[in-house]
Structure 1
Amino acid sequence: MPAEDHVSPVTKQNADETAATDRFLSLQALTKRYGDTAAVDAVDLDVRKGEFLAMLGPSGCGKTTTLRMIAGLVPTTAGQIVVAGRDLTNVPPYQRDMGLVFQSYALFPHMSVAANVAFGLEMRGMAKADIRARVAEALQLVRLTGYEDRRPGQLSGGQQQRVALARALVIRPLILLLDEPLSNLDAKLREEMRNEIRDIQRRLGTTALFVTHDQDEALTMADRVVVMNKGRIEQTGTPEDLYERPRTAFVAAFVGRTNRFPGTGAGEVVHVGGVTMRCARPVSGPVEVMIRPHRIHLDGAGERRADDNHAAGTIIRTTYAGNVVQYDVQAGDAVFNVEQSTDATGALVSVGTAVTLSWSVANTLVFEAAP
């Protein structure tokens, strides 16, 4: 008798429910073409219920187009968008039950804060008493109680972004879509809003997709990150996966700061600008070598740590950046960027000082060079 005949109905139901949760949002070969150009090229992606997923990549990589297709603002060329088992590919935006927060806030300037937040509920024909209660709840969630009667022009950028977030959340969407919502804020406020958005999403358990070109936002906010390049997904994984175990040179270079060198592989050794270093796997021919600046140790000339790779060099530039000091070190024909915590460095090492660089095989990332 086939094995599946022995599976109980309850077990099958639990398996089906788990699969449905893991594929709460499913993009299946999602494609958008403009003439002969593929802005989004056959993207497959499953998003879990309650997950915070960041879509990361440079301008023009297809991340915003993907988000707008999910929202229904851009028609698909091919593929499917399925939410909770329902095919939404050809469903109009107002029937998709999604909340969208734009980069530009997109608030109505002539309407009060309360009216802006209430707009989506009014379009749904909700009773006025219920609207008032829901608006009050949403404004309390984003810490704007007492601002109900103000106009957007009377608010700071951060407050306007909170209004936009409240407007998206008040409808209690199946999915919250955020299109680079923090890019217009200054650095300190951007960091505060990162934490607020993440805390609110966790409290509500809302499934959220966050589009950004800022790697710090993606790494600090998301459960998983999708790195896109030229309309395709390069890699999907946790922030740690992407940073520590990048699968492509593009991901290694885009996620986090890195030294990037052309080199030549010969077995488990690579040659970079006169510097020979060991790597974790056999390679041959043209390669790209990447080493994170903060994973390189800087010691005095002639000193050698237990690390597997060493290079003698000379400091050619010193940059004090507050929490770290950045050193550019000439070693052979290559220039290595090295970062050290200011807590550990003491006095800055002067330009012209001879030093020894040390780093491990595990931190020597090697990729085949692009043809």
Structure 2
Amino acid sequence: MQPGFLSIRSLTKRYDTMVAVDTLTLEIPKGELVAFLGPSGCGKSTSLRMIAGLCPVTSGTISIDGKDVTRLAPYRRDIGLVFQSYALFPHMTVLKNVMFGLEMRKIPVAEAERRAREAIALVRLEGREDRKPAQLSGGQQQRVALARALVIQPSILLFDEPLSNLDAKLRDEMRAEIRRIQKRLGITSIFVTHDQVEALSMCDKVAVLNGGRLEQIGTPGDLYERPATAFVASFVGRTNRLSGVAEGDRISVGGAALRAPGSRRGNVDLMVRPHRMIMTPTGDKGPDFDGEPLNSIGGEIRDVYYAGDILNYEIQAGDQIISVERATTGGETPMASGSPVTLTWRVADTLVFGAGQ
């Protein structure tokens, strides 16, 4: 394995008999933005705190640009950290908050102020240098926290769920802002989140953690289109999970004979993304997907939900419930509950995993 700019080898954290992080190994190239994605308790924040030096390592190593920093104090690791809670000093102005790290490093006042004003301009807060945190919005406070982390010119930038306290519109704005700044400066960064939209839309790579272990790392497209495990398939994006019995490339699901890539035998879970399914009234001609091999299953509309950009249909297919998403175009009339329908999708869009994985 080629060493990365940030190299994490067999990183483990135990609390008595509980293993919070289990032999995490990652090689992160210089300049990449990588998400640690997973549910609460999966080990992503603990991993970040070990990288930052805020949590002692049970075993394993952490290296930055070839230097082992596993046992170094946080201030000696050349790392910037952006917290979920902003952690600004309420009695200090924006300028003084941003200058703080430089002053602790004994940077001359004039130089510290020059660099702080540059960082403030980078996060687009010019003209607010003399305000206190209480005079700023949540999004502006997060920008101050980002400027304070950037001003020390760290080798690594760590984000610990920094957007979770913001409303939806501000989160969208800050995602774009963080990505813009990270790419402009080329800082190797880790972004901890439980929000798949943040991970997929912002990051070069996504590392999915579950139960303290790494399930898969790859580009957003890799994880979404080619999940390595059932957990990744269900956590990264929305999916239907259907129980079936496989015999080679054929799978029996509730009496329907379906196909899937590859060959397997026994009880399986079949997964299909809701937006990859095309729903047509039973008896109508379905899609042909340019002649690609197709799967289809019949059912009945049980319910429909309007969610703005999509209509979400719940389909009763035998003893299983299938979710289907259709984009709204404005003015359409949803199909009625109780309507018989046929669901069609490409065989290539069918994911299969061992039952209960």
Q: TM-score range by the shorter chain?
A: over 0.9
1:311 is matched with 297
One-letter amino acid of the counterpart of residue 346, structure 2: S
Q: After TM superposition, give the deviation of residue 282 of structure 1 in Å.
A: 1.3
Q: After superposition, what is the alpha-carbon deviation per residue over 1:148-170, rounded to whole angstroms, capped at 9, x for unaligned?
A: 11111111100000000000000
1:166 to 129, 142, 147: 147
2:311 is matched with 325
Q: Summarize the alignment of residues 8-47 of structure 1 with structure 2, pairs less than 5 Å apart.
A: 23-47=4-28
In structure 1, distance between residues paired with 2:343 and 2:321: 11
2:347 is matched with 361
One-letter amino acid of the counterpart of residue 138, structure 2: G
One-letter amino acid of the counterpart of residue 332, structure 1: G
2:106 to 125, 128, 144: 125
Partner SS state of residue 362, structure 1: helix
1:294 and 2:275 equivalent?
A: yes
One-letter amino acid of the counterpart of residue 316, structure 2: Q
Q: After superposition, what is the alpha-carbon deviation per residue over 1:71-122, rounded to whole angstroms, capped at 9, x for unaligned?
A: 0000000010000010000010011110000001111111111111111000
Q: After TM superposition, give the deviation of residue 344 of structure 1 in Å.
A: 8.5
Q: After TM superposition, give the deviation of residue 370 of structure 1 in Å.
A: 3.5
In structure 2, distance between residues paired with 1:241 and 1:320: 30
Cα contact 1:269–1:278 (8 A) shared by 2: yes
Cα contact 1:268–1:279 (8 A) shared by 2: yes
In structure 2, distance between residues paired with 1:345 and 1:81: 56
In structure 1, distance between residues paired with 2:252 and 2:99: 63
Partner SS state of residue 236, structure 1: strand
Cα contact 1:105–1:160 (8 A) shared by 2: yes
In structure 2, distance between residues paired with 1:151 and 1:274: 66
Q: Identity over aligned residues, as a percent?
A: 58
In structure 1, distance between residues paired with 2:257 and 2:234: 21
1:224 to 180, 202, 205: 205
1:239 and 2:220 equivalent?
A: yes
| Alpha-carbon spacing, 1:301–1:370, altered in 2? closer, same or farther (3 Å) | closer
Partner SS state of residue 270, structure 2: strand
Q: Summarize the alignment of residues 1-371 of structure 1 with structure 2, pairs less than 5 Å apart.
A: 23-303=4-284, 304-306=286-288, 308-343=294-329, 346-370=332-356
- Structure 2 unaligned regions, length at least 5: none
Q: After TM superposition, give the deviation of residue 285 of structure 1 in Å.
A: 1.1
Partner SS state of residue 56, structure 2: coil
1:10 is matched with none
In structure 2, distance between residues paired with 1:309 and 1:37: 44
Between the two proteins, the alignment pairs up a number of residues equal to 352
The RMSD of aligned alpha carbons is 1.4
In structure 1, distance between residues paired with 2:287 and 2:118: 58
Cα contact 1:274–1:333 (8 A) shared by 2: no
